[in-house]
Amino acid sequence: MKVLVTGGLGYIGSHTVTTLIENGYEVVIVDNLSNSKIEVLDSIYAITGVRPAFYQFDVRDEQKLDELFEKETPEAIIHFAGFKAVGESCQEPLMYYENNLGSTFSILKMMKKYKVCNKIVFSSSATVYGVPDSVPLTESSPIKEATNPYGQTKIMIEKILTDFAKVEGTNVALLRYFNPIGAHTTGLLGEDPNGLPNNIFPYLNKVAVGALPILNVFGDDYETVDGTGVRDYIHVMDLAEGHVLALKKLEQDCGVFVCNLGTGKGTSVLELVAAYEQANDIKINYQIAPRRAGDIAENYAGTEKAKNELGFECKYSIKDACGDGYRFQIYSLFVQRIKSKNREKEVVQE
């Protein structure tokens, strides 16, 4: 089956592409590189031996998207493309509503036009549950008013896809990811944001290799196992596998399928730091800092539905994720150094 992956060169998209290829899917990627690099395509090739068809444009460009559909006729879509930084969404709400909703509208218009494409997997988020009344969070936990525009776009898109599916008979998987971490086991793919990372794992990676001096642990006075925030960290390769299982589910004409993707286990910030140190035999420089505004104490996924209805089970541990993440960060540092050496040479030659 041919699958169109929007945002397929991004963090979760690129890992999912490798898993799709390994499972025999033909992959077409569209990405405008607003938060990714073209080199990711080489890494996908190095890992899988396949170079997927790649289109560089904004998914909101309906004319280009129409041409792509005409040429490639995908039967399913995995829709990752969107902006994802919570803090930035509070500063630039319009940019978030425009991109996240706009890209979804373009995709849905094409699905309406090209009826053969009647399956879509959407990257939703545990953020739709807001501040939890209780944990674990199951798919029937209430959807709360989001505390930020980013989260609001996820709630709105879930609703839009559900309404669309009712009329068009589309099969939709709304996958609510918990906290994805780690990297491809080869260390060739991972997450290396420019500037200061918002999320803990890329921050930890940068502290580990000395690119940042110290990790601030945001609060140690929560009512949790050791006072630090607890989250459900899921290895990105397990998450990738979840998308393949979701596609199989959609092939059974299941209508709208809502599902958490997490491990079902909470891990505190200090436990994550300890796992990272153990996995890589290094020391992480950290200090306790004030709580971060808007943070919740604890969340983790209820995993029964994913297990029973998708057959989803996580293969990788937090320690695996820490080892893979560190390996990728070293690789990424190495690539950056080579690039800057080459630039120095070019300047000297001029």
| Contact call for residue 81 and ligand NAD (CB under 6 A) | yes
| Contact call for residue 153 and ligand WQD (CB under 6 A) | no
Footprint of ligand WQD on residues 39-98 (CB under 6 A)? 84, 86
Nearest distance from residue 84's CB to ligand WQD, in Å?
5
| Contact call for residue 174 and ligand WQD (CB under 6 A) | no
Binding mask 122-161 for ligand NAD (x = CB under 6 A): -x-x------------------------------------
153 binds, among ligand NAD, ligand WQD, none (CB under 5 to 8 A by kind): none
Residue nearest to ligand NAD (CB): 10
Please pick, from the candidates 18, 43, 89, 103, the single residue that binds ligand NAD as defined by CB under 6 A. Answer: 103
Distance CA 151, CA 58 (A): 21
150 has catalytic annotation: yes
Please pick, from the candidates 1, 2, 26, 35, the single residue that binds ligand NAD as defined by CB under 6 A. Answer: 35
Please pick, from the candidates 48, 162, 186, 199, the single residue that binds ligand WQD as defined by CB under 6 A. Answer: 199
Binding mask 319-348 for ligand WQD (x = CB under 6 A): ------------------------------
| Contact call for residue 251 and ligand WQD (CB under 6 A) | no
Nearest distance from residue 193's CB to ligand WQD, in Å?
12
The binding site for ligand WQD (CB under 6 A) comprises 84, 86, 125, 127, 179, 198-200, 203, 215-218, 229, 231, 269, 292, 295
The binding site for ligand NAD (CB under 6 A) comprises 7, 9-13, 30-36, 58-60, 80-82, 84, 99, 103, 123, 125, 177, 180
